[in-house]
Structure 1
């Protein structure tokens, strides 16, 4: 089976699970940038473009899918932010202060989380992988342990350390 056929087969088999994961990532506050189906399909396009030699098993595929979903969401958030700031349009100065408050309150949380994960990856790459696989990939701790070739307890400790680190970075002063 060729790589694209293998990707297609895994995608078809895991499509309901990918939709569930995408729906969970899109739920919550903030502007609706796209719907569940669009996120799954855009992630698929990025998976096919990356086309690693083999995904291995379900966990490897979902790991790649998690990375692709994160990438899609971050790119859309950045694009939305640029559009909101006028893109290439001429800017009009607002002197009342209201415009600054509005822009600050609408800042996407997703970009803050992405930047915090990138910062964590510089310090502890495995901790960032655990967060990405669990949050964006929806993998259980035992699946993450198998994928990363570490023990279950190691993944549990990594998850707690990563959560603590991210909380300290993301907490509002």
Structure 2
């Protein structure tokens, strides 16, 4: 029932009704928290963005983009995944830029301990760059990765959001993972 209720609210939102986001937010909050939890578990422990902040920033980003056209709950969550990815990539880029552009200082034992944590931000940037390349080659493969990896969406949810068959999602998921493996191979090996 909740899924159809969300879909009905999204239809009303599309028609321009006011205050729909206020009704929608409580219905999708837990799903967005689940997405945020998955994303934050992939980040370094010293990440300053919390799950709750990621959910709120994502939701605000989605509200701010009035041209978004949500079909149903699965599509809404797919777009949420994309927004979370963008927020985390922006965060990683800022952190990486600060690390590279700051004043020169002596490397301490603490710096060495956190060097590994900084690699997570670099890895996320590398994954994002590879996904952008994949998107140029095959946009649907890129969307499948985004939904499955960043959104932790099931095969069924991904198929529904993209309006394709589950077997197509499975094939695309295999192709995309193979392509990304070849692109990123060697970049994440421990020194």
- Using the size of structure 1 for normalisation, the TM-score is 0.83
**Which residue in the other structure is 1:14 paired with?**
28
Question: What count of residue pairs does the alignment treat as equivalent?
Answer: 165
Task: Find 2:62's aligned residue among 47, 50, 53.
Answer: 47
1:133 is aligned to 2:143: no
CA-based RMSD: 2.4
Q: Which runs of 5+ in 2 are unaligned?
A: 1-11
Partner of 1:113: 127
Q: Give the stretch that moved more between structures: 17-26 or 44-53.
A: 44-53
Q: By how many angstroms is 1:83 displaced?
A: 1.3
The counterpart of 1:35, out of the listed 32, 50, 69, is: 50
Normalised to the residue count of structure 2, the TM-score between the two structures is: 0.76
More deviation, 127-136/22-31: 22-31
Assess if the C-alpha contact under 8 Å between 1:131 and 1:162 holds in 2. yes
**1:32-76 Cα shifts (integer Å, max 9, x gaps):** 141100100111111011123542210111011111101100000
Secondary structure (helix, strand or coil) at the match of 2:31 reads helix
Structure 1, unpaired ranges of 5+: none
Match of 1:158 among 154, 162, 172: 172
Taking a change above 3 Å as real, the CA distance of residues 137 and 7 of structure 1, as seen in their structure-2 partners, is farther
Aligned partner of residue 138 in structure 1, secondary structure:
coil
CA distance in 1, matches of 2:88, 2:166: 29
Among 73, 77, 80, the alignment partner of 1:65 is 80
